[in-house]
Amino acid sequence: MNSPLVNTPYRWLGDFGVLSRMKILIVDDEPTNVALLQDMLAEAGYTRVKAITESRLALETCADFDPDLVLLDLMMPAPDGFSILESLRAKDAEVLLPVIVLTADVNTESKRRALCAGASDFLVKPFDQLEVLLRIANALETRRLQRLLDNQRAAFEEALRVRSLELREARTDSLHPVE
């Protein structure tokens, strides 16, 4: 694979093949920015990328596409990125969906507001390609590990439930022996 990430010293990313198949949703009202990000991601080897330029479709698309990462522009016509971010966080507080916000606004207040609203990371336009790809890979690796932990927790809880049931049955059998 010719991904710029494969040739970096960041080997901790593990199996890039797994990350490259994770779903990324781009929400940006500027078609040029969308095309740039799509090209960047395709060149890096990401295969499941969806982009929308209509901010009003962001929540519906997110629900339908079920992304592993959202790249979200802040400055868009209503609803703006802040509103979308707040809605995503309010919708399902238990799901740790990484959201990297993108903006040309270098105002400290905007950055703080986005981070307070639940942004996982913050990138300022114009983008440095390697930095964008590394931050995306970091967010996806975090998402992958979170899902792995969730699956392990669910398996543990199921094993605990089954074992508790077995112990209850054994206790009941010992209290009421069959003659």
Residue 126 confidence (pLDDT) above 80: yes
Fold of 11-150: Rossmann fold (3.40.50)
What's the pTM?
0.80
Residue from 43, 105, 113, 29 nearest 71 by CA: 29
Q: Where are the alpha helices (DSSP H) in 11-80?
A: 16-20, 31-44, 58-65
Peptide bond before residue 126 is cis, with ω within 30 degrees of 0: yes
| 34 Cα distance to chain centroid | 18
pLDDT digits (tens, 9 = 90+) for 10-56: 455 556 778 889 999 999 999 999 999 999 999 989 999 999 999 99
pLDDT digits (tens, 9 = 90+) for 74-112: 999 899 999 999 998 887 665 679 999 988 887 888 888
Domain ranges of the chain: 11-150
Could you tell me the maximum CA-CA distance found in the chain, to the nearest angstrom?
Answer: 81
